[in-house]
C-alpha cells in the first residue's frame, strides 16, 4: 500500500538561526544546507532575504549551490520583501516564496494596528504579487493558534483562492495544546471550501514543550507539511524537532499508518552534530534521538534487558539514526552482566571467582566516580586480578632528530629474558622508537591514540603519555611517565604492548 508523504520543511537556517547566539555566516549556512539535502528534506527555508545583505547573499548562494530540495525565502506581506525573496531564491530549480502576516487580535491590535478586513486584503494582495514572480507560494497567518477561528477560516480560504499552494498554520508562541491544535486543523478542513487546493502545513514552537506533540496531532488531522528544525533550535524555547517528528512517524507506524517522511534517517546524527558545531548550540545529553544519552543505559536491569534483547528498553535501533551503537555506561547502578560483557569486549575472560573480585573492586570505584571508563577496568584487572607480566622491558634508547635530519632511533629492550637492539626511522623520534619496538615484538597493533600531559609544573615537569593500541585481540591502553617525553612515550607503548602479549 502506498503511503502518503509528509513534506518536511526545514527552517533551521531561518527560524533556527534566530535563536540567540546561533548566528551563521554564509559558508556555514551553505554547509548545513548541503547536509540537509543529503538528509533528504523536501524544503529548505534558507533565510529572510530582506533582513540583511548577508542573509540575502546566503539565501542566494544556497539557491545556486544546493540541489534537490525546494529553496524558500521568507517575506512579510510587503512588495519589497517579496522582491528580495524572489531575487534570492530564483536561482533554485524549485524556488518558493513564503509570505506571512499576523492574524490574531493581539497582533492586529498591538503590532499592526489594523482591522480584519484590512489584514485580509493585504494577505490576498501579497499572495497574488508573489504568484506573479514564483509559482510556488506559501502563506502563513502568523499567530494562527490565537486567531479567531472564523477569521482564520476566511484568511485560509482567501489566500488559497489567491494562489497559495501551501498554507501554514503556525503556533507562533507555542501556546496551543495537542487536542486544541488538532481541532484547529480539523476545523480548517471542515470550514474552508477550497482547502483541497493547497497543502496545509504546521509550524509549532516549543514554549510549553509541546511543539512535536502539536505537530503530530496536526498530521493526524490532515496536515501534510511539517515545519521544523534540526535539534529543535529556534526562537525562545525553539521549534518542533525534525528528528523527533520523523522518528515518531517511522517508529509508530501503527498510529501513522498511511504516512511516511522520505528522510535518510541514517544522516540524522551527523546533521545534528554539524548544526550543533556551527551554531554553538550544545545538544543536551537527554535530548530525544540525538542526545548523548539517547541510546545509553546505566541501570543494571536495563543493561541486562538490552544485552538479552534490545527491544526490551530500546524502541529504535541507534544505527537507524546514524549512531554507531548502544552505549552501556558503567557506573554504580550497573550490574554483573554489563560488567562481564565490557570485560569480554576488552579481551578479558575471567574465572568466576576472579570476576566476583573484579566486580567488587569495580563497585567500590563506581561509588567514587560517575562513570567508569575502559582504562579504569583495565587498571582493575591489571592491579587486582591478574598482574600483567612484563615480557617486554626498556633497557635504553638513543635518538637522532633535527630539522635537517630524518628522525631515527635505536632501542634496546629485554624481551622474555633476552636483550634485543632495534633501529628504525620514523616521522618523528617517537614514531621511530615505536617502529623499532614493533620490529622486535610483532603484535600487529595499530596506534589509535597518543596523548601527552604535564603531571607536575616547572622546567623539569614530569610528563605523562597515554596511548591506545588496537589489534585483533582488542583495544588496550598504556601509560608511561618521565621527565623525558620520549622515554615516557616508549614506556607507555611498552605498557600497552605487554597487555596485547598477555591477551594473546
Q: What is the pLDDT of residues 350-368, one digit of tens each?
A: 788 878 888 887 787 778 7
Angstrom distance (rounded) from CA 259 to CA 249: 7
pTM of the model: 0.70
Tell me how far the alpha carbon of residue 211 is from its chain's centroid: 19
Cα separation, 463 vs 111, whole angstroms:
64
Q: What is the dihedral of CA 389, 392, 397, 399, to 10 degrees?
A: -110
Query: For position 384, what pLDDT does the model report?
Result: 54
Q: Residue 293: is its pLDDT beyond 90?
A: no
Report the alpha-carbon distance of residue 454 to residue 77 in Å, rounded: 62
Domains of the chain: 4-279 (3.20.20.70), 296-385 (no CATH), 392-503 (3.30.160.270)
Query: CB 381: neighbour CB atoms within 10 A?
Result: 22
Cell numbers standing for residue 392 = 617486554
Contact call for residues 427 and 407 (beta carbons, < 8 A): yes
* CA atoms of 218 and 186, how far apart (whole Å): 8
Those residues whose C-beta lies under 8 Å from the C-beta of residue 120, and which sit 6 or more positions away, are: 154, 155, 158
Q: What is the rounded average pLDDT for all residues in the chain?
A: 89
Q: Cell 612515550 belongs to which residue?
A: 489
Give the H/E segment covering residue 447. Answer: strand 446-454
**pLDDT score, position 456:** 52
In this structure, what DSSP letter does residue 241 have? B
Written as nine digits, the cell of 237 is 524555547
Which residue is associated with the grid cell 619496538? 437
Confidence check: pLDDT of 375 > 70: no
Q: Given this model, what pLDDT does residue 141 score?
A: 97
User: Helix H segments across 170-279?
Assistant: 178-191, 211-220, 242-251, 268-279
117-171, pLDDT tens digit by residue? 999 999 999 999 999 999 999 999 999 999 999 999 999 999 999 999 999 999 9
| Cell numbers given for 503 | 591477551
Q: Give the confidence band of 480 by pLDDT, cuts at 50, 70, 90.
A: confident
Tell me 426's DSSP state.
-
DSSP secondary structure code for residue 187 in this structure: H
Half-sphere exposure of 59 toward its Cβ, with a 13 Å CA cutoff?
A: 33
Backbone angles phi, psi at 103, to 5 degrees: -130, -5
For range 101-114, the mean pLDDT = 90
| Exposure b/e, 196-220, CB count within 10 A at least 16 = b | eebbbbbbbbbbeebbbbbbbbbbe
Phi-psi region of 163 (alpha: psi -120 to 50; beta: other; left: phi over 0): left
C-alpha cell at 177: 495544546
Task: Say how far apart CA 123 and CA 129 lie, in whole Å.
Answer: 10
For residue 187 the three cell numbers come to 476545523
Q: What's the pLDDT score for residue 361?
A: 76
**H or E element, residue 314:** none
pLDDT of residue 117: 93
Looking at residue 52, its pLDDT comes to 94
How many Å apart are CA 104 and CA 172, to the nearest integer?
A: 11
Q: Is 256 strand, coil or helix?
A: coil
Task: Please report which helix (H) or strand (E) contains residue 282, including its range.
Answer: none
User: What pLDDT does residue 121 have?
Assistant: 96
Biggest CA pair distance of the chain: 97
**Which pLDDT band holds residue 47 (cuts at 50, 70, 90)?**
very high
200 vs 495, more confident: 200
On whether the CB atoms of residues 302 and 313 are closer than 8 A, the answer is yes
**What CA dihedral angle connects 13, 14, 15 and 19, to 10 degrees?**
70
Helix pair 178-191, 149-162: axis angle to 10 deg:
50
| pLDDT tens string 426-476 | 999 999 999 999 999 987 788 998 988 875 555 555 678 889 888 877 788
List, in sequence order, the alpha helices (H) in 313-405.
336-345, 352-366, 374-380
Q: φ and ψ at 79, to 5 degrees?
A: -60, -40
Half-sphere exposure of 88 (CA within 13 A, CB side): 32
Better-predicted residue by pLDDT, 405 or 328: 405
Beta bridge partners of 415: 392, 418
A 10 A CB-CB count for 409 gives: 26
Judge contact between 205 and 239, C-beta under 8 A. yes
Side-chain half-sphere exposure of 295, counting CA atoms within 13 A: 19
Interatomic CA distance for residues 240 and 316, integer angstroms: 20
Name the band, by pLDDT with cuts 50, 70 and 90, for residue 198.
very high
Least confident span in 217-221, 309-313, 327-331, 335-339: 327-331
CA angle 367, 373, 376 (to 5 degrees): 75
pLDDT at 274 (0 to 100): 95
Angle in degrees, 0-180, between the axes of helices 178-191 and 211-220, rounded to the nearest 10: 30
Cell numbers standing for residue 113: 494596528
What average pLDDT does range 80-99 have in this prediction? 98
Amino acid at each position: 500500500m502506498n503511503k502518503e508523504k509528509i513534506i518536511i520543511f526545514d527552517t533551521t537556517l531561518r527560524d533556527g538561526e534566530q535563536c540567540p547566539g546561533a548566528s551563521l555566516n554564509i559558508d556555514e549556512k551553505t554547509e548545513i544546507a548541503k547536509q540537509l539535502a543529503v538528509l533528504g528534506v523536501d524544503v529548505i527555508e534558507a533565510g529572510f532575504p530582506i533582513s540583511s545583505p548577508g542573509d540575502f547573499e546566503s539565501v542566494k548562494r544556497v539557491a545556486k549551490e544546493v540541489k534537490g530540495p525546494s529553496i524558500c525565502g521568507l517575506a512579510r506581506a510587503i512588495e519589497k520583501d517579496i522582491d528580495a525573496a524572489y531575487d534570492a531564491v530564483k536561482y533554485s530549480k524549485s524556488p518558493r516564496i513564503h509570505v506571512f502576516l499576523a492574524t490574531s487580535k493581539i497582533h492586529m491590535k498591538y503590532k499592526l494596528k489594523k482591522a480584519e478586513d484590512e489584514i485580509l486584503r493585504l494577505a490576498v494582495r501579497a499572495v497574488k504579487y508573489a504568484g506573479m514572480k514564483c509559482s510556488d507560494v506559501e502563506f502563513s497567518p502568523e499567530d494562527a493558534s490565537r486567531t479567531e477561528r472564523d477569521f482564520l477560516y476566511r484568511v485560509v480560504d482567501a489566500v488559497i483562492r489567491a494562489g497559495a499552494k501551501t498554507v501554514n498554520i503556525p503556533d507562533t508562541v507555542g501556546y496551543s495544546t495537542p487536542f486544541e491544535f488538532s481541532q484547529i486543523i480539523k476545523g480548517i478542513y471542515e470550514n474552508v471550501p477550497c482547502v483541497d487546493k493547497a497543502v496545509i502545513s504546521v509550524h509549532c514552537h516549543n514554549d510549553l514543550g509541546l511543539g512535536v506533540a502539536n505537530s503530530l496531532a496536526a498530521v493526524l488531522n490532515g496536515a501534510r507539511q511539517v515545519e521544523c528544525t534540526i535539534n529543535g533550535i529556534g526562537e525562545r524555547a525553539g521549534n518542533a524537532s525534525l528528528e523527533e517528528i520523523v522518528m515518531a512517524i517511522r517508529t509508530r507506524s501503527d498510529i501513522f499508518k498511511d504516512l511516511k517522511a522520505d528522510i535518510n534517517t541514517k544522516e540524522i546524527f551527523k546533521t545534528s552534530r554539524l548544526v550543533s558545531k556551527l551554531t554553538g548550540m550544545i545538544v543536551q545529553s537527554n535530548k530525544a534521538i540525538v542526545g548523548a544519552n539517547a541510546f545509553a543505559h546505566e541501570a543494571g536491569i536495563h543493561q541486562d534487558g538490552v544485552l538479552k534483547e534490545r527491544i526490551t528498553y530500546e524502541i529504535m535501533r541507534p544505527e537507524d539514526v546514524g549512531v554507531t551503537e548502544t552505549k552501556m555506561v558503567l557506573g554504580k547502578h550497573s550490574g554483573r552482566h554489563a560488567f562481564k560483557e565490557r570485560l569480554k569486549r576488552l579481551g578479558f575472560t575471567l574465572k568466576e571467582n576472579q570476576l566476583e573480585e573484579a566486580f567488587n573492586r569495580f563497585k567500590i570505584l563506581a561509588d567514587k566516580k560517575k562513570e567508569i571508563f575502559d582504562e579504569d577496568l583495565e587498571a582493575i584487572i591489571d592491579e587486582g586480578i591478574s598482574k600483567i607480566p612484563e615480557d617486554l622491558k626498556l633497557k635504553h634508547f638513543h635518538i637522532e632528530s633535527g630539522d635537517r635530519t630524518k628522525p631515527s632511533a635505536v632501542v634496546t629492550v629485554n624481551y622474555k629474558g633476552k636483550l634485543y637492539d632495534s633501529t628504525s626511522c620514523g616521522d618523528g623520534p617517537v614514531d621511530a622508537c615505536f617502529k623499532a619496538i614493533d620490529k622486535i615484538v610483532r603484535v600487529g597493533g595499530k596506534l589509535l591514540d597518543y596523548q601527552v600531559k604535564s603531571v607536575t609544573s616547572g622546567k623539569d615537569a614530569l610528563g605523562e603519555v597515554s596511548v591506545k593500541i588496537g589489534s585483533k585481540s582488542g583495544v588496550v591502553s598504556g601509560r608511561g611517565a618521565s621527565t623525558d617525553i620520549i622515554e615516557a612515550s616508549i614506556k607507555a607503548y611498552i605498557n600497552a604492548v605487554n597487555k596485547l602479549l598477555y591477551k594473546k
